[in-house]
Amino acid sequence: MSATEYSLDLRDIRFVLFEQLKVDEALKNVPKYADFDRDLYETMLESAADIARNVLAPINKVGDREGCKFDGKGNVTTPPGFKEAYKTLAEAGLVAAGMSPEHGGVGLPHAIDVAMHEMLTGSNTAFSIYPGLSRAAANLLASHYTPEWLRDIVVPRLVGGQWGGTMCLTEAGAGSAVGDNRTRAERTEVEGLYLLTGEKIFISGGDNDMTENICHLVLARAPDAPAGTRGISIFLVPKFNFDETGTLGERNDIYVVGIEHKMGINGSATCSVALGANGPCKGWRLGKEGQGMEIMFHMMNEARIGVGIQAVSTASSSWLNALAYSQDRVQGSSIESMRESDPPRVTINQHPDVRRMLMTMKVQVETMRSLVYSVANRLDRAEHGAEDERDYLLGLVELMTPIVKSHGSDVGFDVCCMAVQVYGGYGYTGEYPVEQNLRDSKINSIYEGTNGIQAMDLLGRKMRKGNGALFMSWLNECNLELEAAKATKRLDDEVSALERARDQLGQTAMYLGGLGMQGNLKGAMLQSSPFLTLFGTVVLGLHAIWQGRIALEALDAGGVSAADQKFYRGKVLNAKFYAKNILPKATALAKTIQAGDESCLEPGLFEA
Ligand SMILES: Cc1cc2nc3c(=O)[nH]c(=O)nc-3n(C[C@H](O)[C@H](O)[C@H](O)COP(=O)(O)OP(=O)(O)OC[C@H]3O[C@@H](n4cnc5c(N)ncnc54)[C@H](O)[C@@H]3O)c2cc1C
């Protein structure tokens, strides 16, 4: 494998989609998908794989090395090849293929869309942020909050790739605390039209040379709005104003004033943006005043799942590259022949410690993929199910979103890190892709709400919602899968280990709930990140068992090719490895949390 080749695992992607989730069969009676079948899904997957390998991967390294350029006059130039690649992506209909045909998309199920997204992202993470934000903006605008005329002009252009989208929340004094947002929006005589002033920072795609217009979705507050998140509204602020036919007019006064020099995702322009500094900056309000956070949550939730996909995709590429390298790199001799005078040299994949790393990466990537795709699949099922089933499924999606985002990004980063370790010194150099992947993947734990904020959301809000109703739904799913796995009679140890971990998770949740009820909120929140990791560790263990069961059933059915036997055996070994090597961390976390140590909270310890 060459140093820059992108590696993707279509076999595993197909396994999750068509053998585990059975996306094609599950949706075939849904009218919306009446014309879709496995062949069409395969064609779409192949087309994304083709663009990933042949269009985006070749410009990944140059994007990292050259980054974006800012001319000091508000204009950003993306790295060589990005503009052409965006055009290719748009012509293939892949900017937002999941959007419905009435909005210019193909209307693919979320699960297929996510799989395509994984390939496009894994081949060039920095590039994928531009279409990712356009897609999220289109989805938000297609919701019922938007004035119709605005939606009809903007959404097809975002989906078609002529225009781009951004999300503008962060300000110098308002990062995690979005409610401290100070950008102002003055009403005008035209209903719904405002003039904005302020400055946003860290805005991905704040300007680019790939699309003819950019629609910024900006959080700001009217002058008399209440403090905090209740006073925040959301506005569509175009780079170029446009009329009711969509024809572009004069430049709106929203300009990039600087770009960041970053650790990774260098091809993605991270911009400081000034609004209304030198002239009128027009913004159209979406929804009502004060509804800004509620509406923006549409985009943020999509973006959080998007971060999970990003985490899987980079980790997957790192793991596959490390595997290929380990099959090629000759170093040392096998442990059995070490005492011989001139033992034969072996490839490093023969060394037990390297195999441990390979297995850890494999199982983490494959279970994360399973989790992310299954969340997308629940969204598909929710859209077309009966009302009570819909609430149940959406509740599960809500509960899993911080786990997908945060546990996914932590585990994804660890996998990228381990891949560097497998390469040894070469992994630390820019010669191989794992070094860039590691840098690119760090952002996942920071943006779209830091992992710390996600953990507080999980523990403080989602675990408590409906007196633990979401958690009970997850327990129900967990138990159903464990029963199914028991029926194979070959995963007994793994099921028992998962049952223990599930119970420890439940006890820990009760313990933390108890701290909350005693009024010790600090003590409870101190444990929110370990709790998220504990929950995520159990969830991925469940996915390892789920996949192991499907693999055993496939082997039992017979008629399996040699390549598939190896693949399915790998899934069964995943379940075994996870239960013995990774799941015990859940026990350790449960004990650590319940030990209730609060030493770091002692007043004075960290105060200046
Ligand atoms: C490359 C890049 C791209 C970005 N793209 C966008 C974008 O497109 N649009 C956009 O709006 N923003 C974007 N951001 C901003 C990003 O979302 C913020 O950086 C992030 O929300 C954290 O805010 P902050 O950097 O101000 O950190 P802070 O909020 O200052 O947080 C610093 C640390 O304190 C912790 N912390 C803060 N408050 C609490 C609390 N109450 N309880 C516990 N811990 C807390 C955090 O978890 C973190 O560890 C981007 C950032 C980067 C680096």
Q: Examine the pLDDT at 377 and tell me if it is beyond 90.
A: yes
Under 8 Å between Cβ of 440 and 412: no
d(CA 436, CA 502) in angstroms, rounded, equals 36
**CA distances for 378 relative to 373, 400, 547, angstroms:** 9, 11, 17
Split at pLDDT 50, 70, 90, the class of 386 is confident
Ligand 1 atom closest to Cα of 449? 21
> Which among 302, 435, 448, 494 is annotated as catalytic?
448
d(CA 231, CA 179) in angstroms, rounded, equals 8
Best residue for ligand 1 mutational test, from 182, 446, 454 (most atoms within 8 Å of Cβ): 446
Kindly calculate the radius of gyration of the chain based on its CA atoms and give it in whole angstroms: 25
What is the rounded average pLDDT of the residues 339-347? 90
| Burial 80-93, CB ≥16 within 10 A → b, else e | ebbeebbeebbebb
What is the rounded average pLDDT of the residues 362-384? 94
Residues in contact with ligand 1 by the CB-under-6-Å rule are 166-170, 175-176, 202-204, 262, 265, 270, 443, 446-447, 450, 452-453
Q: Examine the pLDDT at 2 and tell me if it is beyond 50.
A: no
CA of 366 to the centre of ligand 1 (A): 28
- For tokens 């209307």, name the residue: 107
Closest by Cα among 197, 150, 141 to 171 = 197
DSSP string over 21-44: S-HHHHHTTSGGGTT--HHHHHHH
Closest by Cα among 467, 487, 458 to 550 = 487
The predicted pLDDT at position 191 comes to 94
**CA distances for 503 relative to 145, 290, 576, 587, angstroms:** 42, 42, 19, 10
Q: Examine the pLDDT at 4 and tell me if it is beyond 60.
A: no
577-590 pLDDT, tens digit each:
999 999 999 999 99
416-468 pLDDT, tens digit each:
999 999 999 999 999 999 999 999 999 999 999 999 999 999 999 999 999 99
d(CA 364, CA 359) in angstroms, rounded, equals 8
CA of 449 to the centre of ligand 1 (A): 6
Rounded to 5°, angle at Cα 169 from 166 and 171: 120
Q: Examine the pLDDT at 80 and tell me if it is beyond 70.
A: yes
Best residue for ligand 1 mutational test, from 207, 450, 454 (most atoms within 8 Å of Cβ): 450
Side-chain half-sphere of 145: how many Cα atoms within 13 Å? Answer: 26
Helix 387-402 and helix 292-328: axis angle, to 10°?
60
DSSP string over 567-582: HHHHHHHHHHHIIIII
Three-class secondary structure of residue 275 per DSSP: strand
Under 8 Å between Cβ of 174 and 232: no
**CA distances for 457 relative to 169, 453, 518, angstroms:** 18, 6, 19
Q: Examine the pLDDT at 298 and tell me if it is beyond 90.
A: no
Three-class secondary structure of residue 98 per DSSP: coil
Q: Examine the pLDDT at 385 and tell me if it is beyond 80.
A: no
Rounded to 5°, angle at Cα 306 from 300 and 308: 115
Share of the chain above pLDDT 90, in %: 90
394-405 pLDDT, tens digit each:
999 999 999 999
Say whether 448 is catalytic. Answer: yes
* Model pTM above 0.75: yes
The predicted pLDDT at position 417 comes to 98
Side-chain half-sphere of 2: how many Cα atoms within 13 Å? Answer: 7
The domain segmentation of the chain, as residue ranges, is: 452-596
Under 8 Å between Cβ of 2 and 322: no
Q: Burial of 247 by CB count in 10 Å (0-12 exposed, 13-18 middle, 19+ buried)?
A: exposed
Side-chain half-sphere of 185: how many Cα atoms within 13 Å? Answer: 25
CA of 229 to the centre of ligand 1 (A): 16
d(CA 436, CA 423) in angstroms, rounded, equals 13
358-368 pLDDT, tens digit each:
999 999 999 99
What is the rounded average pLDDT of the residues 54-74? 97
The predicted pLDDT at position 5 comes to 62
Q: Examine the pLDDT at 300 and tell me if it is beyond 90.
A: no
The predicted pLDDT at position 259 comes to 98
What is the rounded average pLDDT of the residues 283-312? 91
Three-class secondary structure of residue 349 per DSSP: helix
Q: Examine the pLDDT at 3 and tell me if it is beyond 70.
A: no
Helix 433-442 and helix 408-423: axis angle, to 10°?
160
The predicted pLDDT at position 571 comes to 98
Best residue for ligand 1 mutational test, from 168, 170, 439 (most atoms within 8 Å of Cβ): 170
231-282 pLDDT, tens digit each:
999 999 999 999 999 999 999 999 999 999 999 999 999 999 999 999 999 9
Split at pLDDT 50, 70, 90, the class of 297 is confident
Under 8 Å between Cβ of 579 and 541: yes
